[in-house]
Amino acid sequence: MLGTILAGLAVVTVVAPPAAASTRQLSIVQDDAAFLGISGHNPDAAIAEAKSLGADVVRTFVVWKSVSPQPESREMPAGFDPGNPDSPGYDWSVYDAFIDRAREAGLKVFLTLAPPLPYWASEQPEGCPHHVAGNRFLALSCMWKPDPVLFGQFAHAVARRYGANAAGSHGGSVVLYSMWNEPNLEHYLFPQLERRGTRTVDVAAKRYRRLWFEGWKAISISDPARRKNVLFGETAAISSPIDTLYAALCMDERGRPFRGRMQRLQGCVRPRPLPIGGVAIHPYNDHASGTVFTRSFSPDSLSAAYVPRVHRMMDRAVRLGRIPRGRGVYLTEFGFQTNPPDRRYGLSLDRHATAINEADRLYYADPRIKSISQFELFDVPSSPDENPANEVYTTGLRFLDGTPKPSLAAYRMPLVVSLRSRDEVEVWGQVRPAAGPATADIMVSPRSEGPFRPALRVRTSRAGYFQLLLRRKDAARLHYRLRWRSSDGVLFQSRKARAGRPIRYLG
């Protein structure tokens, strides 16, 4: 990285990425409604915009129920082979088109094999659909005791259709898989807990372990090139995600191996190591609000500033031989709500733009973070229902009608200025869409409305990052902006930034 002083305005120290920093993170964008063409937005334009913003990967849920035949029957259709993607009854058309769009845009694909399940794929089909009071989503959906063996067959079908060895025209774009979504929530895996005599057993964690392993076995056979790219977890930030991860790895809530009767109840008498490709988490704050400075009041949650909790969990699991060494953490779903449109929760539009950049800076400093994520591109319709179980997240970079929020530009070119002392600031940023090293200008102004004048020219790393210390008497009072011109001559600018407090994990 280079820092060139213009007009002798400042003293600059170019800061190499510290040992505790990531030099490359995947940028994941997810917007199933837009990318799959089911929201009314143009799916080709949406995928193309994700690429233009600098995304590397687009994620989607491959919903088991949606592609399966007779999903509300309690008996599997006669003659149907769930492990064969060409078996009559499977309908992959929505995902075929998604894969084609991503390939056309030059994006890689991340598939999460997700619920709801067809009723016939439950170990107790008579329990489908099950009902949770006040939750409309579950009224016609089934999350009840999914059969791990049938789930493994579904994973075979997905990998055979979209993996590197796929016989058709849709293979080769998938770089990551994960199994299930937010297994620590009853919304997605039910039941969560059961009483067995005097003990309470986390049966959701036990079942998730089996689902994950059957899914991984299928990927290792049907898409062996990606057998080390199957993520584990996909946990929600609430509802004791660390406890669920521990239990799924045959460990109690303190990270100790299950013993005695609990070991037997959890199916952990001879726990096999799980060859995970990494741990996937969704580190939202409460109601996807707050910022990276928001404190958690729960010791077992996993919100934005508390990712080290999963690091400690993984370190214990490695020491016990439950998972391989050297695996990273993937933020696979994440964002902040805006107000408007959400009137109960969320950040102002300008604070939202700042918050997503602050999160980028926080996770950049962590070499164990392998991906960051933006959920979603467009807002979804707000729910008028006051029931929290029916809450939807308005975390998009655009409003539902397509109007851009300030965070759209902020996502494309993150910029964070952190106060080091009265006369010194750290300036960190990224030119996310750049293909390789890029040259950008740091602009400054004594006033928010400008005019902004060039202060420094920086050369980014191959991943688009730069980091430097700027010393001048008014450094803490200035307003900053990043400016970059693409190879085709389009001028892009970041949000306006001012020096704020240093960003670091809280626990």
pLDDT in tens, 296-333: 989 999 999 999 999 999 999 999 999 999 999 999 99
Give the mean model confidence (pLDDT) for residues 351-366.
98
> Would 21 be classed as within a structural domain?
no
- Distance between CA atoms of 461 and 21, rounded to whole angstroms? 13
What does the DSSP assignment read for 474-487? TTTT-EEEEEEE-T
Helix (H, G, I), strand (E, B), or coil: what is residue 210? helix
Cα dihedral 294/298/303/304 (nearest 10) = 40
Domain boundary among the residues 415, 450, 476 is at 415
**458 is in which domain, residue-wise?**
2-16+424-498
410/430 same-domain check: no
Total domains in the fold of the chain: 2
Closest CA to 121 of 85, 94, 83, 93: 83
pLDDT for res 8 = 37
In the chain, what is the straight-line distance between the N-terminal and C-terminal CA atoms, in Å? 31
Cis peptide before 257 (omega within 30 of 0): no
pTM, to two decimals: 0.95
Helix (H, G, I), strand (E, B), or coil: what is residue 63? strand
- Distance between CA atoms of 269 and 10, rounded to whole angstroms? 64
How does the average pLDDT of the chain come out, rounded? Answer: 93
> Count of CB atoms within 10 A of residue 7's CB?
8
pLDDT at 132 over 70: no
389/428 same-domain check: no
**111 contacts 162 by C-beta, under 8 angstroms:** yes
pLDDT for res 169 = 80
> Would 209 be classed as within a structural domain?
yes
Of the pLDDT bands very low, low, confident and very high (cuts 50, 70, 90), residue 381 is confident
**463 contacts 24 by C-beta, under 8 angstroms:** yes
Domain boundary among the residues 397, 415, 433 is at 415
Of the pLDDT bands very low, low, confident and very high (cuts 50, 70, 90), residue 6 is very low
> Would 507 be classed as within a structural domain?
no
392/461 same-domain check: no
pLDDT for res 138 = 57
Of the pLDDT bands very low, low, confident and very high (cuts 50, 70, 90), residue 16 is low
HEC sequence for 280-314? EEECCCHHHCCCCCCCCCCCCCCCHHHCHHHHHHH
pLDDT for res 5 = 34
**394 contacts 382 by C-beta, under 8 angstroms:** yes
329/275 same-domain check: yes
Closest CA to 36 of 48, 50, 47: 47
pLDDT tens column, 412-455: 999 999 999 989 999 999 999 999 999 999 999 999 999 999 99
213/171 same-domain check: yes
The maximal CA–CA distance of the chain, rounded, in angstroms, is 79
pLDDT for res 385 = 56
H or E element, residue 419: strand 415-421
- Domain of residue 442, CATH code: 2.60.40
pLDDT at 20 over 80: no
Give the mean model confidence (pLDDT) for residues 167-191.
94
Buried b (16+ CB within 10 A) or exposed e, 469-500: bbebeebbebbbbbbbeeeeeeebbbbbbebe
**231 contacts 330 by C-beta, under 8 angstroms:** yes
Of the pLDDT bands very low, low, confident and very high (cuts 50, 70, 90), residue 12 is confident
pLDDT at 232 over 70: yes
pLDDT at 380 over 50: yes
pLDDT for res 190 = 95
11/34 same-domain check: no
Give the mean model confidence (pLDDT) for residues 224-253.
98
